[in-house]
Amino acid sequence: MNILVVGANGQIGTHLVEKLKNTETYKPVAFVRKEEQVTKFEDKGIEARLGNLENSVSDLKKSMKDIDAIVFTAGSGGSTGTDKTMLIDLDGAVKVMEAAEDMNIKRFIMVSAFQADVRENWSEEMKPYFAAKHYADKFLMNSDLNYTIIRPGMLENKPAIGKIELTRALTEASDPMTIPREDVAQLILEALENDRTYLQSFDVTTADQEITEALKGL
């Protein structure tokens, strides 16, 4: 099963590509925007395809040949302005969805943002980012794609803990809720063909349930 990882050079994407590579079931295909990133992945024996989320839907479709599922974990990054946030996190994401539909690729996993579905909990300084994620998620939920939307808490570069909590009903964000990036990657891996995650969206943070057990509660 060929999995296109959009944002493969990012931190979650890098963890995910490695995890996919170490399975017998999945083959990762890294979608990246720079030639040196293509070389980096190819040197590890991982197929990489060059593309740009600011390009047309037609251009994006060229990177989706023989793909069975898509994971979108790209982002404009914290150092860019609102314009790039809208072009990458919103319009770029939507164009990937449109291209997936055109290519009849049904399975789509979106890495969104914690509480992106609850406007009242958006921090003032990051409102454009949350808005981009919110409306990209809305578009995905209204598409014909078999989606899973994962909204992780504050991302950390700590070693994997492997224990999480999923919730679809959180309405108030209080204490900072965190999760290692590697645990998000493991959750994506386990969600790919888990039918309990199909057409689902949820927040996820570190807690006390093994990932496999947490998914059984959906």
- Residue 25 pLDDT class (50, 70, 90 cuts): very high
The Cα–Cα gap between 185 and 156 comes to 12
Q: DSSP for 165-186?
A: EEES------S--EEEHHHHHH
Determine which helix (DSSP H) or strand (DSSP E) holds 84, and give its type and residue range: helix 82-85
DSSP 198: T
Active-site residue list = 129
pLDDT reading at 182 higher than 90: yes
Asked which of 120-129, 150-159, 191-200 is least confident by mean pLDDT, the reply is 120-129
Quickly count: other Cβ atoms within 10 Å of residue 182's Cβ. Answer: 22
Tell me: the pLDDT tens digits for 93-132?
999 999 999 999 999 999 999 999 999 989 898 999 999 9
Please give the share of the chain, as a percent, with pLDDT higher than 90.
Answer: 89
Note the pLDDT of residue 207.
92
The Cα–Cα gap between 203 and 179 comes to 11
Residue range 6-32: average pLDDT? 97
- Residue 177 pLDDT class (50, 70, 90 cuts): confident
